[in-house]
Amino acid sequence: MIPRLTLALVAVALFALLAVMPVSAESNLTQEQIAAMVADRPYITVMDRIDPNYIPPADTIDSNGMFVMVHTPGDTIELLGENTASDMTYLFITGPDLPANGAQINNPDPAHSPLENGNPATFQQTAVRSDHTWSWKWDTTSHVIQDGTYKIYVVPRPTDYDHLDPTIEYGFTVVAFKNSAGSGTVTPSTTTPLATIHVTTIPSVAAKPATTPSGTEETVLPGVVTIVATGNQSYHPGDEIQFSGTNTGSYKTYLFITGPNLNPKGSDIRSTNPGKNAVADGVESTFKVMDVNGDHTWSWTWGTSNSALDAGTYTIYAAARPHDKDNLEKTPYGTVSIVIKKPLVSATASPTSSVATPTPTTSPGFDALITLIGLGAIAFIVMRR
């Protein structure tokens, strides 16, 4: 690994230096002892690895000529390495708008989660195995991450960036994030069907603020909002549909719907007749409003039995602010598409009296002969009278 190569180069440099300089009379260390100390010095390393089944959007070369993988928030990044300096590896992150001394990489909002030097609880901790290796998977799904390049540091003790010095072993790797205006594909799990989470690009803070209906200027709201639907995303009228997701932009999630014969800017998903009840931009009461939990998750079950919906494909929007489809440029939001099928037609049995049941035709048997004789006798008696 690179740290070992570096140590080897340091050792070679020391040998070369000591070859031309005599050992001080005051020193009790020989050249061999100094070389051994350098070679045996503890070290810690880190590298990032992605799921081989998922290819990130792109890669780039930074200003230092280093290869940097570009990720989208929602990716899961596996960090791994070696640690011969301790039995626990501590991780933190630095980058755009994060605390100067480092941020808590395991917090959904690292920009507001500074490290506390010496406090292990503010670091991501992972145990070192007997072979000195360690690993940790970083799921960035619910994290507020701005566009830019970040450094992920690993240290053998809970030491923040401000307290790193040449006597402290540490390593780092570089990753980049780009919020996509398209979709980020979530790696399928064994319990959740494959879903596509659409996230918005967070515009630059320097962009001109939008104007709210009240006339005040609205600033960009950072964060990510996601939404998924349970099942196969195809339902019949009357089905219950559970929506859930994350919201790191605000403490309330605002839902509305678009689709066949609905308002193009969005309709009230709660209404029994969404086609006649459009959402009004900036008016909370026209949206379905869900509280966001402390872990940035939210959920809602929609009972469609009383909703007048035509068959077709619908899009449900989840936003961090009460904005309609035409006013989402300053607000993080997510979407999910569902299909409403035609109502099930129940089969009704026809009345038995109107259906003639065919009977098989057979040759007259003994019973038929007796019947015919009896009818003939009755007819003879009537004729005699």
Q: Report the pLDDT value the prediction gives residue 75, as an integer from 0 to 100.
A: 83
Q: Report the pLDDT value the prediction gives residue 123, as an integer from 0 to 100.
A: 96
| Nearest residue to 223 (alpha-carbon basis) of 103, 319, 309 | 319
Would 42-177 and 183-340 be classified into the same CATH topology? yes
> Which amino acid appears at position 28 of this protein?
N
In the chain, domain spans: 1-38, 42-177, 183-340
Cα separation, 330 vs 321, whole angstroms: 9
For the whole model, what pTM was predicted? 0.41
Rounded to 5 degrees, what are φ and ψ at 328? -105, 10
Q: Report the pLDDT value the prediction gives residue 36, as an integer from 0 to 100.
A: 54
Cα separation, 171 vs 127, whole angstroms: 16
Beta bridge partners of 60: 68
Q: Report the pLDDT value the prediction gives residue 69, as an integer from 0 to 100.
A: 72
What single string gives the DSSP state of each residue in 6-47? HHHHHHHHHHHHHHHSPPPTT----HHHHHHHHHT---B--E
Cα separation, 217 vs 214, whole angstroms: 9
Q: Report the pLDDT value the prediction gives residue 330, as an integer from 0 to 100.
A: 85
CATH topology of domain 42-177: Immunoglobulin-like (2.60.40)
Cα separation, 205 vs 219, whole angstroms: 7
Q: Report the pLDDT value the prediction gives residue 60, as an integer from 0 to 100.
A: 54
Cα separation, 156 vs 132, whole angstroms: 12
Q: Report the pLDDT value the prediction gives residue 193, as an integer from 0 to 100.
A: 33
| Angle separating helix axes 2-20 and 31-39, nearest 10 degrees | 170
Per-residue pLDDT of the chain (385 residues; tens, 9 = 90+): 555 555 555 554 554 544 444 443 344 555 565 555 545 678 888 887 755 555 555 555 444 445 567 788 888 888 999 999 999 999 999 999 999 999 999 998 899 999 999 999 999 999 999 999 999 999 888 888 888 889 999 999 999 999 987 677 888 888 888 875 333 333 333 233 333 333 333 333 333 444 454 455 677 777 788 888 888 788 988 899 999 988 888 889 999 999 999 999 999 999 999 999 999 999 999 999 999 887 788 999 999 888 888 889 999 999 999 999 999 988 888 888 899 987 765 554 445 444 455 544 444 454 544 454 555 544 444 445 4
**R_g over Cα of the chain:** 36
Cα separation, 256 vs 286, whole angstroms: 9
CATH 3.40.50.300 for domain 183-340, yes or no, is no
Q: How many CB atoms are located within 10 Å of the residue 100 CB? A: 10
